[in-house]
Chains A and B, each alone.
Chain A
Amino acid sequence: MRPVYAVSGGVSKFAKARPEKTFQAIVKEAYDYAIEDLGLEFRQFTELVDGSVASYFSDHFTRQLMAGIMAQDYLGLCPKPSHRVVGGGATGGICFQEGWKNVASGLMDICVAYGFETMSHVNTWKGNEFIALASDVSFDYPVGGFYSGYYAMMVTRHMKEFGTTVEQLATVSVKNHINAYHNPYAQKRNRYTIEDVRQAPMVAWPLTRLDICVMSDGAAAVILCSEAGLEKLEAASGKKVPRVRVTGIGRGTDAMRMADRPHQTLEEFLKHNALPHEANNQATLKYYEDLWGRGFRYPGIHSFRAGRMASKKAYEHSGITDPKLELDFVELHDAYTSSEIQTYEDMGLCRYGEGGPFATAGTTFVPGVEYGLDLVESPVCPVNPSGGLIACGHPVGATGLMQAVFAMWQLQGTVEQHFGDSTLQLEGARRGAIHSHAGTGTYVTVSILEAED
Chain B
Amino acid sequence: MSESKKLPDKIQESDDGQILFSVPFPADLNAEALQALKGMQPIIIKQPYSIDYIHSYGQDSPFFAGLASRVLLGCRDLETGYTYANPRAHDMYSGQPTEWVQLPEQGRVHAFTVCHFGSEEFLPQTPFVLVLVEFDGTDTLLLSRLVGLSPDEASLEWIGMPIRARFLRNSKFKPTDIYFTPLE
Contact = CB atoms under 8 A, between A and B. Distances in A.
Interface in B148-162: 151, 154, 156, 159
Interface stretch (B18-26, B99-107, B120-128): B120-128
A83 interface: no
B156 A160 contact: yes
Contact of B120 (A126, A139, A203, A257): A126
A262 B174 CA distance: 25
A17 to B, nearest CB: 9
Given A137-B55, A259-B132, A143 B145 contact: yes
A123 interface: yes
B62 to A, nearest CB: 13
B119 A153 contact: no
Interface string A120-141: 0001011011011000011110
Contacts of A160: 111, 156, 159
Contact of B110 (A125, A131, A150, A157): A157
B86 A257 contact: yes
| A interface bracket (residues with beta carbon within 8 Å of B) | 35 or more
Contact of B116 (A126, A159, A203): A203
Nearest to A130: B119
Contacts of B141: 258-260, 301
Given A137-B55, A257-B86, A260-B88, A204 B42 contact: no
Given A137-B55, A156-B156, A259-B86, A146 B111 contact: no
Interface in A93-147: 123, 125-126, 128-129, 131-132, 137-140, 142-146
- Of B113, B116, B159, most A-chain CB atoms within 10 Å: B113
Contacts, number: 136
B42 A144 contact: no
A196 B14 CA distance: 53
Interface string B32-46: 000000000110100
Contacts of B60: 138
A205 B116 contact: yes
A262 B139 contact: yes
Contact of B112 (A63, A139, A153): A153
Interface in A212-269: 255, 257-263
A149 B132 CA distance: 11
B143 A259 contact: yes
Contact of A143 (B85, B92, B144): B144
A201 B127 CA distance: 13
A369 interface: no
A48 interface: no
A22 B140 CA distance: 44
A142 B123 contact: no
A80 B11 CA distance: 40
A453 interface: no
Identify the 6 closest CB pairs spanning chains A and B, nearest first: A152-B113, A129-B119, A259-B141, A157-B111, A125-B120, A153-B111
